[in-house]
Amino acid sequence: MTQDELKTLVGQAALQYVKPDSIVGVGTGSTVDKFIDALAASGIPLKGAVSSSVRSTERMSKLGIRILEASEVESLPVYIDGADEIDHAGHMVKGGGAALTREKIVADLAERFICIADESKLVDTLGAFPLPIEVIPMAAAQVARRLKARFGGEATLRAGCVTDNAAHILDVRGLAIKDPAGFEAEVSQWPGVITVGVFARNKAAVCLLGTAAGVKTLSF
């Protein structure tokens, strides 16, 4: 199957985690687009959805799914989103679509994170995919220097990217993140950092992995 077909497969498989008459957390990205389409076509009754990006909000609104603000809910049964990388413990790298801060906010509301991805995203060690870090613009150069000195990572500003929060994205190459929780905890404390694209505190509970043999379920 093509990568697009694998994304469709896992998007449909994620419907099993959507409880009728609940509020579902929805991420962003091309794989999540497939889930949104499947959700709209499924006929599953929902109270609404909390979206992590303008892109997903617009797509769901056009398909008739009611959108709620994160401030309107106290918790969510599930948050369904993709990943740029996921390791064998459920830690992820996210932010390729520049929505990592809002993704982490919605993920933090959820009882369980359901990751949907194709098998190319499963890795032994996070870091091959350039790690996104959302930063306040005036801190970008300072954070980049610190990443180089502390971890040997080469950080570059993502050209032309302004996030939904009016911030910038540093993409960091050359990392091997062997302690995702420690990395996330440390870098999150640096002045000017809004969000680190390592999802360790909000790691996946389940990954639905699209493979040539079908959907493989990984539980963490």
| Residues classed as catalytic | 103
Task: Report how far residue 102's alpha carbon sits from residue 195's, in angstroms, rounded to the nearest whole number.
Answer: 9
Reported in sequence order, the residue ranges of the chain that DSSP labels E, i.e. its strands, are 22-26, 46-51, 67-68, 76-81, 85-86, 92-93, 110-118, 131-135, 154-157, 168-173, 193-196, 198-199, 206-211, 214-219
Give the tokens for residue 174.
């050359």
Does 210 count as an annotated binding residue? Answer: no
Tokens (6 digits) for 211: 């493979």
Q: Is 82 annotated as a binding residue?
A: yes
Residue 148 counted as an annotated binding residue: no
* 27 labeled binding residue: no
DSSP 79-101: EEE--SEE-TTS-EE--TTS-HH
208: its two tokens: 């639905």
Q: Do the annotations mark residue 192 as ligand-binding?
A: no
94 is in an annotated binding site: yes
Distance of CA 161 to CAs 34, 96, 100, 138, 175, Å? 24, 11, 13, 15, 22
Q: Is 97 annotated as a binding residue?
A: yes
96 assigned ligand-binding residue: yes
The number of helix segments (H) and strand segments (E) in the chain equals 6, 14
Q: Which of 186, 210, 177, 155 is nearest to 89 (CA)?
A: 177
156 is in an annotated binding site: no
> Do the annotations mark residue 216 as ligand-binding?
no
| Residue list, annotated binding site for substrate | 28-31, 81-84, 94-97, 121
- Binding site residues, as ranges? 28-31, 81-84, 94-97, 121
